[in-house]
A = this chain, B = another copy of it.
Amino acid sequence: MAMPEVLFALEGRPTAQLIADQLREQIVKGMFRPGEQINESVLASQLRTSRGPVREALQRLCQEGILVSRRNRGVFVLELATDDIREIYAVREAVEATAADALLDAGQEQVRDTCQALKAIISDMAKQVAVSDWQSIARLDMQFHTSFVAGAGNTRLIRIYETLAAESRMCILNLEIAYPRIDVLVQEHQNILDLLESGGREELHKVIKQHMQTAVEDLTATRKEKEVIA
């Protein structure tokens, strides 16, 4: 039988996941303040659905960790403490280092494909830096790292990293002070790309570690400033 292969199976995912994806995007974009309560009823009416699917989506996000649930009180947007930042970036460093090793071990072709994707992202990033679109820069920054990890092809690593990426975006946005080292941002990512392409494993590990450490320093520093103000 002549199966038309052009038609892709419209794999309608579970509704709760679609809602969760939308909501996560809204949260990391900063549409909800940290600590803010998520009201099920208003969310349900906004999405033109009932509370059931909404509750299921919220459960997912609680499991992910970007929402916290208090019994009989509801769910609230995660409030990130300084220790959380350190945790997140420590795990990110480990995951990216693992992804780097797996990628380099996987062979030249896989590395090349990944590099191609990363180049495109860096190119976009440079454009957004030129017009100072912080929202897009944050998105592309995480997209770069997510694509990097995705290149390794380990689905569990990818799933783990997606949560970390969401939390990282929350760190950046909630502090409301975007990238203090904007001038070197593109260059830093280009460094990672170059080292991946040249296959310098040790240097790659080192630059990833450096990248995370400076991020933590920047984020905790701006956080300290805010504390002084408050």
Task: Specify which chain B residues have a CB less than 8 angstroms from the CB of A56 in the assembled complex.
Answer: 55-56, 59
* 12 pairs, CB–CB < 8 Å, chain A vs chain B: A14-B62, A14-B69, A14-B71, A56-B59, A59-B59, A60-B60, A63-B63, A90-B154, A91-B98, A91-B156, A94-B97, A94-B98
Contact among B57, B60, B95 with A94 in the assembled complex (CB-CB below 8 Å): B95
**A contact residues vs B (CB 8 Å cutoff):** 11-14, 16-17, 52, 55-57, 59-60, 62-65, 69, 71, 87-88, 90-91, 93-95, 97-98, 102, 154-157, 159-160, 164
- Asked whether B65 lies within 8 Å of A64 as measured between CB atoms, the reply is no
A80 CB to nearest B CB, Å: 12
- Asked whether B52 lies within 8 Å of A156 as measured between CB atoms, the reply is no
Q: What is the count of identical protomers in the complex?
A: 2
In the complex, A95 Cα to B97 Cα: how many Å?
Answer: 11
In the complex, A60 Cα to B69 Cα: how many Å?
Answer: 13
- Asked whether B156 lies within 8 Å of A65 as measured between CB atoms, the reply is yes
Secondary structure class of chain A's binding surface, majority of residues = helix
Closest residue of chain B to A64 (Cβ to Cβ) is: B63
Interface centre among A17, A60, A69, A91 (most CB of B within 10 A): A91
In the complex, A69 Cα to B56 Cα: how many Å?
Answer: 13
Contact among B52, B65, B91 with A52 in the assembled complex (CB-CB below 8 Å): B52
Contact among B14, B17, B52, B91 with A160 in the assembled complex (CB-CB below 8 Å): B91
Contact among B63, B88, B98 with A60 in the assembled complex (CB-CB below 8 Å): B63
A86 CB to nearest B CB, Å: 9
- Asked whether A156 lies within 8 Å of B11 as measured between CB atoms, the reply is no
A122 CB to nearest B CB, Å: 26
Task: Specify which chain B residues have a CB less than 8 angstroms from the CB of A16 in the assembled complex.
Answer: 59
Task: Specify which chain B residues have a CB less than 8 angstroms from the CB of A93 in the assembled complex.
Answer: 98
Closest residue of chain B to A15 (Cβ to Cβ) is: B71
Closest residue of chain B to A92 (Cβ to Cβ) is: B156
